[in-house]
Structure 1
Amino acid sequence: MRSWEQVYQKWSLNSELDEKLKFELDQEKSEQALEDAFYKELSFGTGGMRGILGAGTNRMNIYTVRKAVDGLANYLLVHRVNVRDRGVVIAYDSRHMSREFALEAAKVLGVYGIKAHIFQSIHPTPLLSFAVRYLNTAAGMMITASHNPPNYNGLKVYNENGGQIIPQEADQIVQYIDQVKDELSISIKEQSDLEKEGLLYWIGNEIDHAYLERLKYISQMRSSFASKKKDLSIVFTPLHGTSYDLVTKGLEQLNFTNVHVVEQQAVPDPEFSTVESPNPEEHQAFEMAMDLGKQKDADILLATDPDGDRLGVAVKNKAGDYQVLTGNQLGVLLLEYILKHSNLSIVKNARIVKSVVTTELAEAIADSYGVELINTLTGFKYIGEKIQQFDSTGETFIFGFEESYGYLISGFVRDKDAVQAAVTATEMAFYWKGQGKTLLDALDDIYKVHGYYLEGMSSLTLNGKEGARQISETMEGIRLQENAAIGRFRVVAIEDYLVEERTVLGDNQTDRLELPKENMLKFILEGNAWVCLRPSGTEPKLKYYYGVCGQDKQDAEVKLEELKQEMDSLIKSTMTVMA
């Protein structure tokens, strides 16, 4: 009998298995589906864990959640102080099983005498990050799968600083998780006992109020001006997720009263029934917002993803149609707006932080203001880690962002925050409207000064055990090639984050990269162009990013399409060779 079959048999023959999961196993007749559900354990990393809902060790269910939380509890008791008194705060989104998984986590923590603070209702990820610091808990957990399809869910872990756990912490937690040999026999306490013993505390609105109070102070407007009503028409959709209350209240605090909510998408819905994908990066997610925007003659459209940590924005172009800004475009607009309104003679050692796959235009803008920009690996956990370091170095965080629609304006949250970003983007649109410009006009002004930067991202989805092998072998195949050029773009330098080296071609000089190890390759090309490849940490995808700088929009678009095609060919040819 194959190893996965033995695990399957253990589950299917367990008389106390959850009834729904037992029924699912009894109904599944596909051997391939069963193998995929049991051939491995759902991986736990810096993003916690995320996967398809269902029965199996490679699925999100009450047993895989219990195992992860059991390992986390043991890790905390060894590596943190006053864990039982401080407890762990848990939030959850609108997905299937989110509230149930939050309660399962509390049931496991309670066995160890660790108090759980759980929000009474759905809340966005940034509020979980804020709550960790506000309550001074030993850790935090967010039950969410972000913008994945409806059949996914996940569990993200936050450290005591309010940031997502970093690789060293994740590795240590995994060691404790691996000590749990039988996920089906983990001890739990019942909810009634937890509440009776003071090990389960339900959070009301107090943290929302504290967050909103802090949110007031990120505005770049003078307080006397912030109190006045503003003639800006806004359409907002939370895409069936968690951010409705905080975004609308945050806008109301700055007297943006002309806010029109897409009512069909304001209702939490784990099926995300009005969109193909609840991802503001996908233009189809804006369809209903655009329809309402035309009815209300809206100046700006805002869309947040289900767990409220990513923001998409659309504005009218000269043809009168709504154009969705890319994550890079919105990021540089926010960066320029914040720097333009910051008194840099008072703000000492100001720092901007972005990921290595985010637009290089950010560095050009930062340089023009004399502000240092710091690059991190992909993942907002690394930006959160930098902010924590700034607390002891005397540096001042003033903005951080990633191309994947993640932004943070103020460090009172240590993860990307769509609420902060929505309020600031609205304020920014209002400012530029007062100057007779749209956000697209302001973006064109930036391009005229610094050059026309464009970026793109493609991904190749490769599911299951075979897909994971193909992704790994493709990365290794490209790493072994001697790429002096990608198409007509000459390679200037290669950054290999797996071996932490940067090699400058021509003089064959190699320097150490001062960033953590990751299976990622970046090729620096001539003319401010670049490409970067990395396996996704949360999805079965090989992602490749590319960026160019052109003399104008047409020149940049031609270069970007050419570079995309060259990357498509490189990936395809490498996969063929490695097959």
Structure 2
Amino acid sequence: MHIEKNILDKVNEWLTPTFDRETQEKIKDMMTSSPKELEESFYKNLEFGTGGMRGIMGIGTNRINKYTLGKNTQGLSDYLKKSFPGENLKVAIAYDCRHNSDVLGKIVADVFSANGIKVFLFSEMRPTPELSFAVKHLNCHAGIVLTASHNPPEYNGYKVYWQDGGQLVPPQDAEIIQVIENLKYSEIRFEANEDLIEYIDTDVDQAFIDSTVANAGFNTSAFAKQNLKIVYTSLHGTSIKMVPPVLAKAGYTDVNIVPEQAVPNGDFPTVVSPNPEEPEALTMALALAEKLNADIVFGTDPDSDRLGVAVRDNQDKMILLNGNQTMVIMTHYLLEQWRKAGKIKGKEFIGSTIVSTPMMLELASAYNVECKVGLTGFKWIAKFIKDYPELKFIGGGEESFGFMVGDAVRDKDAVGAILLMCEIAAQAKEKGSSVYKELQQMFVDFGFYKEHLISITKKGIEGAQQIKQMMIDLRENPVSEINGQRVIMVEDYQNSTAKNLLSGETEPLTIPKSDVLIYYLEDGSKICARPSGTEPKIKFYFSVNCTIESLSDIPEAEQQLDQKIKNIIAEMQLN
């Protein structure tokens, strides 16, 4: 097999004494036994995407290992010193249940400490939202969490947080990446200063629990809390550390944990994927819910930023809600609570993303608050909070099963979102309603919106090229009509342009550049194409809607909207 010279140059660098003997031996073995794997491991450098850096663990520049994360951390150390001259720098580090997360977390702590930076390192795995909280709580300059979120077991990752508890955003991200790229591996300082590493646990835990209950609790009666039967699964992840104590502190007593999935395990042995977006992941939780006749089911991903929710429909059958539905349910509830408390003064906002349901805009309009819409990823919602200090943030979400209640945590937070959904469900049940009925009434009040997502996986070098070509084709051969409806607007976030196809006028987009295309049809439908920033996938998002007069209109309207989505998918040849 022929291997390109630029790849061989990287391989040869990793065979120098800068790298340990074990690494060199593994590379030599790959050269003879797995040249294809060698190429995949070195053909590029791992890049920061939507949710930080994620990749397969192993040897090479395109893998998560001691050296790639060491280089990141050395570069971040240099950047922090430049950004905060003369300050006593502090960082917080957390890690999830994945294989090697604890080892990699300690390596990252070692490099920071070797650079004279004080490190607060969680003594055990903790949820990502707790790390975001800890950065602000401990007055740190930055934070790191070692996680690959919901990716398969062979993955790990590295998320960077800034002073505000939010993930890196421009311009810091590009500046830090530049510093990292300019570093040599030989410049990484691995020799720890153990005096600068402080292990943290219960004190921060208690502060996080108290903050979560204060932010996501809304005067639900003790009876309603005790009367709500909850089934919860951590899917072998970190949320087991925080969800049970938060619900206990809040007064929920009937919490039933799926025992087979309660023990953290980086192999995620009982699921195909530890992703609550996938219905299969909640199979065991749903079975337990039927056995116990539970009211609501929750499942979280390994680092506890995403949550899946299932509730009972009008026929008493458990159904899974999608991320758009849980987002509008929680946002509507928060808006109603703020309105009742007289806290809406015209200086408040909710947050969403360009690929999420347009129903968020309808909610904002109805409650006289602003809806700020950014790119995919909660770092953009966190950036809105930082950029508009004169506005109060109520809550916000994105379609990929994430939500954030208030601004104490600056990333999607399944812990706080679970408590908020419990409050909604308990109060609804107490008044003879349900979460599902509340959602149906919202469709009458604000418009019936239906969303659907298709993800197409393309792995490896060839896959990345195929995804790139699909986006090129969509741009070079623009669609003018879909399902008998004219395309009236095309937003191209890579070129920062919004083109009105009826008038021919083009306007600039103010949202940062990203490889995203959105089509708007004349009937209000919306179609978005976006390569994933964290997985080898290209995603297509569909949103359709109609107005209905009463609850009795829902079955027919739902059938029509489902058919419309099927027609669009068929016409775009995506099925």
TM-score bucket of the superposed structures, by smaller chain? over 0.9
Tell me which residue corresponds to 1:151.
154
TM-score if structure 1 supplies the norm length? 0.93
Is structure 2 residue 166 aligned with structure 1 residue 170? no
- Deviation (angstroms), 1:517: 1.0
Tell me which residue corresponds to 2:204.
207
- Deviation (angstroms), 1:300: 0.3
Matched residues, number: 560
Q: Contact (CA 8 Å) 2:27, 2:38: kept in 1 or not?
A: no
Q: Quick one: percent identity of the two aligned structures? A: 39
- Aligned 1:109-148 pairs, distance under 5 A: 109-148=112-151
- Deviation (angstroms), 1:82: 4.8
CA change 1:25–1:297 in 2 (3 A) is farther
Question: Could you list the per-position Cα deviations for residues 407-439 of structure 1 after superposition, in whole angstroms to 9, with x for gaps in the alignment?
Answer: 001101111100010000011111111122221
Structure 1 residues without counterparts, runs of 5 or longer = 573-579
CA change 1:388–1:264 in 2 (3 A) is same
Q: Contact (CA 8 Å) 1:91, 1:102: kept in 2 or not?
A: yes
CA distance in 2, matches of 1:20, 1:321: 53
Question: Could you list the per-position Cα deviations for residues 288-331 of structure 1 after superposition, in whole angstroms to 9, with x for gaps in the alignment?
Answer: 10111122111000111100101110012344432110000111
CA distance in 1, matches of 2:217, 2:177: 42
Q: Contact (CA 8 Å) 2:224, 2:427: kept in 1 or not?
A: no
SS class of match (2:417): helix
CA distance in 1, matches of 2:559, 2:206: 48
Tell me which residue corresponds to 1:252.
248
Question: Could you list the per-position Cα deviations for residues 148-188 of structure 1 after superposition, in whole angstroms to 9, with x for gaps in the alignment?
Answer: 0000000000111110101321110111111112x266331
Opposite residue 130 of structure 1, the aligned amino acid is F
Opposite residue 210 of structure 1, the aligned amino acid is A
- Deviation (angstroms), 1:453: 1.1
SS class of match (2:245): helix
Candidates 339, 356, 370, aligned match of 1:372? 370
Tell me which residue corresponds to 1:354.
352
- Deviation (angstroms), 1:215: 1.5
- Aligned 1:325-474 pairs, distance under 5 A: 325-343=321-339, 345-348=342-345, 349-391=347-389, 394-474=390-470
CA distance in 1, matches of 2:94, 2:476: 44
CA change 1:31–1:175 in 2 (3 A) is same
Question: Could you list the per-position Cα deviations for residues 374-408 of structure 1 after superposition, in whole angstroms to 9, with x for gaps in the alignment?
Answer: 111111100000011232xx211101100000100
SS class of match (2:436): helix
Question: Could you list the per-position Cα deviations for residues 334-358 of structure 1 after superposition, in whole angstroms to 9, with x for gaps in the alignment?
Answer: 1111112223643331211100110
Is structure 2 residue 536 aligned with structure 1 residue 540? yes
CA distance in 2, matches of 1:373, 1:426: 25
Is structure 2 residue 546 aligned with structure 1 residue 568? no
SS class of match (2:266): coil
CA change 1:170–1:253 in 2 (3 A) is same
Q: Contact (CA 8 Å) 2:50, 2:534: kept in 1 or not?
A: no
CA distance in 1, matches of 2:24, 2:278: 33
SS class of match (1:374): strand
CA distance in 2, matches of 1:215, 1:185: 41
Q: Contact (CA 8 Å) 2:74, 2:189: kept in 1 or not?
A: no
Question: Could you list the per-position Cα deviations for residues 81-101 of structure 1 after superposition, in whole angstroms to 9, with x for gaps in the alignment?
Answer: 455x23111100000111111
TM-align CA RMSD: 2.0
CA distance in 2, matches of 1:556, 1:60: 43
Candidates 71, 74, 79, aligned match of 1:75? 79
TM-score if structure 2 supplies the norm length? 0.93
CA distance in 2, matches of 1:131, 1:25: 42
Q: Contact (CA 8 Å) 2:15, 2:24: kept in 1 or not?
A: no
SS class of match (2:39): helix
Candidates 96, 99, 121, aligned match of 2:99? 96
Q: Contact (CA 8 Å) 1:52, 1:152: kept in 2 or not?
A: yes
Candidates 215, 233, 236, aligned match of 1:237? 233
Is structure 2 residue 65 aligned with structure 1 residue 61? yes
Tell me which residue corresponds to 1:575.
none
Tell me which residue corresponds to 1:577.
none
Opposite residue 355 of structure 1, the aligned amino acid is T
CA distance in 1, matches of 2:398, 2:304: 15
Q: Contact (CA 8 Å) 1:166, 1:382: kept in 2 or not?
A: yes
| Structure 1 stretches of at least 4 aligned residues deviating more than 4 Å after TM superposition | 12-16, 226-229
